[in-house]
Structure 1
Amino acid sequence: MTGVAPKVLFLRNEHMATEALLGEAFTDSGFDVEHFQVVPPDQVDSPAVEVAFPDPTAYDVIVPLGARWPVYDPALRETWVGAEMALLRDAADAGVALLGVCFGGQLLAQTFGGSVARSPRPEIGWYDVLSDRPDIVPNGPWFQWHFDRWTLPPGATELARTPNASQAFVLGRALGLQFHPEIDTDLLRGWLADDRDGDVAAAGLDHDQLLARTTDLAGDVAPRIRALVSGFVTHVVGTSRPS
């Protein structure tokens, strides 16, 4: 059918992790944007809930977003993480393109045969990411907040990295990202207000530093987010669907 905009579904695995700037970039690329809340806000401290996910074949792209929990938590794998992995497999089988962000990128790795485990060095703050394919994943500082890292799924190609962790991989019509391209100052303020475990201080940073750096980089990051979405649409979404 001509004249119908493609649809992207953002899976908000927790209420604090929204699509923010990433949603705006997809809108600018001509997508209709929808979102689905996975773990309700009142279940943050007991997140092993049963979830009935929407039909993945109703969308052109599905984007699992971040979350505070590990993707390998057994109680979560027995409930909604396992169900979301099944959704991602069904989506891939149907030719739906996938873009995973941080927890969502780790979820893609775990779903398609890679592994996820605690990293020796967590990354919090702005890190320079070295990309082999800047036409898909632009170089430059990207925001990080993670304690785990993946090993690549079989057949995946790593696209970007820091000295501490793989930062991007492509597998068919799926792109996994370890960093947070969606971050803006409003979203970060919410995360900092919810920093109950003192993650930022443990990383040797303070809240004002992170907010100031995020504000300073806003003019540089915005065009790189648009370039990332454009590269994803062109080089990942635009590849042939499986027969």
Structure 2
Amino acid sequence: MSTPVDKSQAGIGARQYHIGIAPGEVSSVALLPGDPFRVPFVAEFLTDVKEVAHNREHRTMTGWYKGRHITATSTGMGCPSTAIAVEELARVGVTSFIRVGSSGALQPGIAPGDLLVSEGSFRNDGTTDAYLPKGFPAVPDLALTASLDRNARRIAEAAGTQSFTGISVSDDAFYAETPEWIGELNRMGILNVEMEASAMYIVARLRGLRAGMVCACSSNLVDGTSLYDHANTALKDGWMRSIEAALETAVELEL
């Protein structure tokens, strides 16, 4: 009689099926943008840059920042591909994860390009339900998040913009977010909405890893300030500030 595959052991010590990376090819800390075309934005801060792999939505580059070896891997959109990226990166040696992405603000007064540091994620996704029951919280590493907050505030202030902290929500269905749902999230005091953090937090907790998130605001969904109505420069500037905050945190905590 055949034995079912144990996926918890699949790929250990080998080149990973989805991300295309083998042990020894990456560092202990990874920045996780969603878009593979934003991985080169991370590389702009690095020296001795190498492109390690690009398979499906997962593009990986490595380099050095202030003496720290840094990896950047794109997760793609949503919790399913993010969970795969975190699982496989952990199997090749990554122990700390910092998501740097775009996010829609849900509270007034937040402008495109402002920074958003997550203190936890409302799990409005399906992927994390396969890992743990809904009552289990999706929370980032405390020390990592505190460092992200400090660095984000400093960098935003120097740029004449703002940085905010609060609870985020990870949604699965971008175009199913109705005005009623956005209003409900606003009334709950949720700071921002994105699509990946809950999976990163849950997988990291289960695997004994560290994770945190700093995003750039792309739109304000309650003020009606949309990325589609603004030049892309504000958002790209925000991405670059979020990347700098993540890199400074990696150095500060020696990740």
TM band (smaller chain): 0.3 to 0.5
**TM-score normalised by structure 2 residue count:** 0.37
Query: Which of structures 1 and 2 has the larger relative contact order (alpha carbons within 8 angstroms, sep 6+)?
Result: 2
